[in-house]
């Protein structure tokens, strides 16, 4: 008999970390065509789709954290998850990757440019994409880490979710409220024209918040939604069809199908991959600069795109693992804020059934939730 998503995710016997790792690898693969100089591809959409998937999983996991904690505790924990790994990544790019890039490009390296890169991007708003002329030899152009753009949108999603789930009516009617948001945002995404420059963040936010709140909706209905290989297959076909048709259709029509597909896989796939260590965040944020160096070394002229992608993943993974072990996990271990939701239990959804995830188990997954960019 099919289990509900909530009961299937009991404890740590699930594959959500493995799903996130696959999504991170898919983003690296999608970037390989551009960075490696291979030209355009019909698979260009898989990177954007992976970003969507990360937001869907994030919404599913983080909603529970907000319902259990007050806003101060909630947002502090979210900041602990994003900023330490992000800041260290900026430093590594500026002081390690950039000098090597300068050497490969045959130009000088100015430490002042690297310090400006760290300082100007530290708020999550990516202002500096290049560091002097250190990417002069790159086929892709001047962007050391295109993967960081969505971290700002992830934190926006945290704030929006935190504020909305602080409203008493929303907490009591979470499924209805999330359903309204998931119905309205894709329509707004289609209606708003493609804006240029900094205003394009409006387009991105409408798109990504659609998937984030599809995850919140799935959380609200987790003990009613059942796992089904048939439904998951239909969802997969819908996502693939949209991806090969247009990115507009992919972003507007697949928040619910993609969310269900990923949660189904995480619920039913039995694997030990990433069971103990979640290197997916690090794999994503270090994949792009690793690929830039490989491209400047000329690897794109020697191997097919699949070889370029595999080499990128292999070289980025040790950095990702180090980021998890020595930066992200220790940062999440710090107890900087404590707090519980001040409302009585009448203000929150009814307790989950006995087989649903316990609070400790939800906290474990929420603390490891990945944020990712394109």
Amino acid 1: pLDDT: 54
CB 325 within 8 A of CB 368: no
Segment 38-48, tens digit of pLDDT: 988 889 899 99
Amino acid 107: pLDDT: 94
Segment 327-351, tens digit of pLDDT: 999 998 888 766 665 554 333 333 3
Segment 212-265, tens digit of pLDDT: 999 999 999 999 999 999 999 999 999 999 999 999 999 999 999 999 999 999
CA distance 80 to 220: 25
Name which residue leads in pLDDT, 345 or 138. 138
Query: Looking at 127-131, 212-216, 258-262, 357-361, which range is the least confident one?
Result: 357-361
CB 303 within 8 A of CB 270: no
pLDDT at 322 over 80: yes
Count of CB atoms within 10 A of residue 38's CB? 15
Amino acid 142: pLDDT: 79
Name which residue leads in pLDDT, 30 or 272. 30
Amino acid 341: pLDDT: 54
CB 233 within 8 A of CB 171: no
Which pair of structure tokens corresponds to residue 164?
């909305």
Segment 169-201, tens digit of pLDDT: 999 999 999 999 999 999 999 999 988 888 899
Chain position carrying tokens 């894709």: 186
Confidence of residue 309 (pLDDT cuts 50, 70, 90): very high
Which pair of structure tokens corresponds to residue 365?
């997954």
Confidence of residue 361 (pLDDT cuts 50, 70, 90): very low
Amino acid 352: pLDDT: 37
Contacts of 298 (CB under 8 A, 6+ apart): none
Confidence of residue 144 (pLDDT cuts 50, 70, 90): very high
Confidence of residue 360 (pLDDT cuts 50, 70, 90): very low
3-state SS of the chain is CCCEHHHHCCCCCCCHHHHHHHHHHHHHHHHHHHHCCCCCCCCCHHHHHHHHHHHHHHHHHHHHHHHHCCHHHHHHHHHHHHHHHHHHHHHHHHHHHHHHHHHHHCCCCCHHHHHHHHHHHCCCCCCCCCCCCCCCCCCCCCCCCHHHHHHHHHHHHHHHHHHHCCCHHHHHCHHHHHHHHHHHHHHHHHHCCCCCHHHHHHHHHHHHHHHHHHHHHHHHCCCCCECCHHHHHHHHHHHHHHHHHCHHHHHHHCHHHHHHHHHHHHHHCCCCCCCCCCCHHHHHHHHHHHHHHHHHCCHHHCCCHHHHHHHHHHHHHHHHHHHHHHHHHHHHHCCCCCCCCCCCHHHCCCCCCCCCCCHHHHHHHHHCCCCCCC
Amino acid 222: pLDDT: 93
- What is the residue-averaged pLDDT of the chain? 88
Average pLDDT score over residue span 20-46? 93
Domain parsing of the chain, residue ranges: 11-175+264-367
Amino acid 132: pLDDT: 93
Amino acid 355: pLDDT: 36
Nearest to 252 by CA among 207, 218, 297, 222: 207
Name which residue leads in pLDDT, 165 or 273. 165
Amino acid 253: pLDDT: 96
**R_g of the chain, CA atoms, integer Å:** 20
CA distance 247 to 176: 27
pLDDT at 167 over 80: yes
């Amino acid at each position: 008999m099919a289990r509900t998503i909530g009961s299937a995710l009991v404890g740590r016997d699930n594959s959500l970390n493995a799903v996130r790792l696959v999504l991170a690898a898919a983003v690296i693969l999608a970037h390989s065509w551009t960075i490696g100089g291979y030209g355009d591809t019909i698979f260009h959409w898989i990177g954007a789709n992976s970003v969507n998937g990360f937001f869907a999983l994030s919404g599913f996991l983080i909603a529970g954290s907000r319902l259990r904690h007050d806003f101060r505790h909630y947002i502090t924990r979210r900041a602990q998850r994003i900023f330490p790994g992000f800041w260290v990544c900026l430093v590594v790019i500026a002081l390690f990757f950039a000098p090597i890039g300068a050497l490969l490009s045959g130009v000088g390296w100015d430490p002042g440019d690297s310090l400006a890169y760290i300082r100007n991007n530290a708020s999550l708003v990516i202002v500096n994409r290049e560091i002097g002329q250190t990417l002069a030899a790159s086929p892709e152009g001047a962007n050391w880490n295109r993967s960081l753009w969505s971290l700002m949108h992830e934190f926006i999603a945290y704030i929006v979710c935190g504020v909305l789930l602080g409203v008493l009516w929303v907490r009591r009617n979470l499924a209805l409220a999330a359903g309204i948001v998931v119905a309205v945002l894709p329509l707004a995404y289609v209606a708003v024209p493609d804006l240029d420059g900094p205003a394009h963040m409006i387009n991105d936010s409408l798109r990504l918040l659609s998937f984030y709140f599809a995850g919140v909706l799935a959380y609200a209905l987790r003990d009613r939604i059942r796992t089904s290989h048939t439904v998951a297959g239909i969802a997969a076909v819908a996502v693939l069809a949209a991806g090969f048709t247009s990115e507009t259709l992919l972003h507007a029509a697949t928040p619910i199908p993609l969310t269900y597909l990923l949660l189904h896989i995480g619920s039913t796939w039995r694997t030990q991959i990433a069971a103990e260590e979640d290197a997916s965040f690090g794999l994503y944020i270090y994949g792009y600069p690793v690929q830039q160096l490989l491209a400047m070394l000329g690897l794109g002229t020697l191997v097919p795109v699949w070889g370029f992608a595999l080499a990128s993943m292999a070289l980025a993974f040790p950095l990702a693992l180090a980021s998890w072990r020595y930066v992200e996990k220790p940062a999440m271990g710090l107890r900087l804020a404590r707090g519980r939701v001040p409302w009585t239990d009448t203000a929150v959804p009814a307790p989950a059934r006995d087989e649903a995830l316990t609070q400790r188990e939800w906290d474990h997954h929420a603390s490891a939730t990945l944020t990712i960019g394109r």
